[in-house]
A and B are shown apart, each in its own frame.
Chain A
Amino acid sequence: MNTLEIANLSKSFGGVRAVDAVTFAVRPGEFLALIGPNGAGKSTCFNMINGQLAPDSGSIRFADREIAGLPSRMIWQLGVGRTFQVAATFVSMTVVENVQLALLSHAGEIFRGWRPVARRHRERALELLGEVGMREAAERASRELAYGDIKRLEFAIALASAPKLLLMDEPTAGMAPRERTDLITLVKRLVVERGISVLFTEHSMDVVFAFADRIIVLARGKLIADGDAKAVRENALVQQVYFGTGKSFERKRELLP
């Protein structure tokens, strides 16, 4: 059984079909990249899966359950974790408290009002921070962190709910090349250990071709390719959308004397 199955998913904004009858699946334990040029519909697709947007039509099935149109917190409760393109943490809290809060929410303890947070799930939170290499920074205010460290913290928060599927929207955006490889290596190692399936979007082709098990390509809202790195790289349609055909200049050349 596939972890996530998407069938005929569509969403329009005004007259623009941002996502147009897209169908694909994420297999168990798969590291699946969703790529495409700017405006291809990647983010719209993502936001429908994580519940931020309701699709116009189509179905999203996760763990044998229809999740299209559910609020994002319910989708999270079912076992879909996520990280944001522009990393978001709770800036008024320390690093370890950020992770503790995710653990508390996962344990259904958000509405508890007596025993302080400081004494709840602290060990487990530190353990998770240790796994992403942030153990030393546990007591720092999360707003003081460097951007790469915020990304790591976000990843630890995402792992806290022990998800079956992780949605990562441009996990390495805004990072230096070296940091980028370090982070994605870490992510891949930890999700493989845990058997988590990952769907991620990414602009860095180095990261995509080096790490993705499989790649799907969106262009103008439509799915145009699906396959491994080699197949996608050699796909004529993909080459066309990424590099163009050069045809836009041909006519002008003809007009020249």
Chain B
Amino acid sequence: MTVQSLLFQAIDGLAAASGLFFVAAGLSLIFGVTRIVNIAHGSLYMLGTYVAATIALRFEGALGFWGGVILTAALIGLFGAVIEIVLLRRIYRAPELFQLLATFALVLIINDAALWIWGPEDLLGPRAPGLRGAIEVLGRRLPTYNVFLIVIGPLVLLILHLALAKTRFGRLVRAATQDREMVGALGVNQGLLFTSVFALGSLLAGLGGALQVAREPASLLTDLIVISDAFVVVVVGGMGSITGAYLAAVIIAEVKALCISIGTASIAGVAFNFSKLTLVAEFLVMAVVLIVRPHGLLGRRQTVMRSLAEPEEPLRPAPAALKAVGAGVVVALALTPLLARSQPYVLVLGIDVLLMVLFATSLHFIMGPGGMHSFGHAAYFGLGAYGAGLLVKWFAATMPFGLVAAPILALLGALLFGWFAVRLSGVYLAMLTLAFAQIVWSIATQWGELTGGSNGILGIWPSAPFDIRSAFFLLTAALTLLGVLLLRRLLFAPFGYAMRAGRDSQLRAEAIGIDVRRVHWIGFAIAGAVAGVAGGLFAFAKGSISPETIDVGRSIDALVMVLLGGIQTLTGPIVGASVFAVLQDTVMRQTEYWRALLGAIILALVLLFPAGIVGGLARLRLRLVRP
């Protein structure tokens, strides 16, 4: 590595920073005003790439390309306005968690819509007319288009800055970012303001996507990659700060450029490939920033919004009817292997369902009673699965050792990540847990020598007597039952009450001597360990483990399972996970467009049944009992 190559990478990094900035600026604006973290922002960007590529391919020449860029930005802005009016308006007053899920549902639906319109192949657009050459910088060739991107990023920042500082619209946006309720009280038409801000943010995302077409093909994978990058940028820069977004985009792009230019270096005699760090680098930056400045580089503490979720009913011991149902379930589980003689598939599905029940219950433990909305619970599931898998792969360990290693590795991971996570709350906690899950996923993907990379680890089979499927089923059932009952027991004990106390009122809890952070930290670790058990069993059930089984999709599945059952009840996650796992197995495998279907289920949940299945039934019963 030379100083020249480092400088060159740094200059090239600025081009990447501009791309990041367009998406992040829109995301930040939207969050500032509406307080909604729009996970679908990456999808708008992705749509931008597809639309711009399609236009440029149909109408060739400079007008087709540059006119297409402008037209695309306008179209995506318009699409954003439609989304705001049709969907978001209904959920501004919903709990944060539901807003995140609703926009995630959009991600799924938009992705499948793109698959339907443009097909699974990447779509390669033309290169930018007039900017196809390159100039010589530091003895290397820098594409002219990158120079254009380097310039246009700060230019858009300047325009946005002036618009926010000088215009009436900008004043309203800044006022709403500081105190939305006050702006409403002053008689500002909030509907119009929110719609136009959402449209502006979407326009920026569309513009970012359209400009990217000249460098990379449009791909269905962009949405999640872009959104996780944009999140990191916004969180690092400070939610709601445009200048912060640019600053953070530059920092992250530069850190990545640095990793690439260092390449393989030797540290204390061990060769280490820094370019592999690029996937993790941004999350490391974010973790550091969040710990030092919890509200981002240029962000400020958000005004606390009143939570409009319905308060929870006090915890009551299981009534006789529920105990009877529970006993019935246990008996049914014990008898399942008999039924499986005629229908062996029942056992395969049964194991899936049980593992999802255990996984969802462990997430509910911290999400419901702990109030910590983890968007990265798959990390602990994954650590468990890999803990077991690695032991089998490298030490030829038998299953009992693997199943002991699984929760231990998950526990250690949860202790480490949880220590940081409990220092934050709300959206920031959600993002940090997501970032940690991405780190685990990246390590699994990139550290090929250890983990087998994207192929994962194969040949993790249970040892006797559990190599017979019915025996493995019974083992899974026993461990799931044990895990669920232990967590339930904890919730009725002082520890569970302390967790809820910290959630209900942190101030009050501290005032009666409860160390809320410590309680929540331990709760987080316990939930992680239990998820690790589920992960370990999963590895043995499938015989293999690969990064794609522990990606962000699994974290989101767990959230959906908890909400489907009802977050405010203890039986909710059990029912939710069972229904979800069966649905996934039956309905979703029938269609290519299962993502859109899952998205529709999530939207229905958020808009129509916010209390979930069990919560909804309980309310129905209350209404029948007390007319």
Contacts and interface: CB of A to CB of B under 8 A. Distances in A.
A117 interface: yes
A105 B512 CA distance: 7
Nearest to B519: A110
A84 interface: yes
Interface stretch (B168-176, B231-239, B489-497, B615-623): B489-497
B493 A114 contact: yes
Q: How large is the interface on A (under 10, 10 to 19, 20 to 34, 35 or more residues)?
A: 35 or more
Given A92-B311, A118-B317, A161 B512 contact: yes
Contact of A117 (B312, B494, B514): B494
B511 A104 contact: no
Contacts of A90: 500-501, 504-505, 508-509
B358 interface: no
Contact of A89 (B493, B505, B513, B514): B505
B495 A73 contact: no
A101 B497 contact: yes
Residue among A71, A106, A115, A116 with the most chain B CB within 10 A?
A: A116
B378 to A, nearest CB: 26
Contacts of B492: 116-118
A112 B494 contact: yes
B498 interface: yes
A121 to B, nearest CB: 10
Interface string B515-549: 10001001000000000000000000000000000
A73 B507 CA distance: 10
Q: How large is the interface on B (under 10, 10 to 19, 20 to 34, 35 or more residues)?
A: 20 to 34
A105 B514 contact: yes
A129 to B, nearest CB: 15
A31 interface: no
A197 B490 CA distance: 37
B514 A113 contact: no
Contact of B513 (A52, A76, A141, A143): A76
Given A89-B505, A90-B500, A73 B513 contact: yes
B314 A93 contact: yes
Contacts of A120: 494
Interface string B309-345: 0011111010000000000000000000000000000
A102 B494 CA distance: 10
A88 B507 contact: yes
Given A76-B513, A90-B501, A84 B507 contact: yes
B122 interface: no
A88 B508 CA distance: 6
B467 interface: no
Interface string A207-229: 00000000000000000000000
Nearest to A104: B494
Contacts of A77: 513
B505 A50 contact: no
A97 B494 CA distance: 10
21 contacts: A73-B510, A76-B513, A84-B511, A90-B501, A90-B504, A90-B505, A92-B312, A92-B313, A93-B500, A93-B501, A101-B497, A111-B494, A111-B495, A111-B519, A113-B493, A114-B493, A116-B489, A118-B492, A141-B313, A141-B314, A143-B311
Given A71-B510, A93-B501, A116-B489, 6 more contacts: A73-B512, A92-B313, A105-B514, A117-B492, A141-B314, A161-B512
Interface of A: 50, 52, 71-74, 76-77, 82, 84, 88-94, 97, 100-102, 104-106, 109-118, 120, 141, 143, 157, 160-161
A-B interface, 5 closest residue pairs, ranked by CB to CB distance from nearest: A92-B312, A116-B492, A88-B508, A90-B504, A105-B513
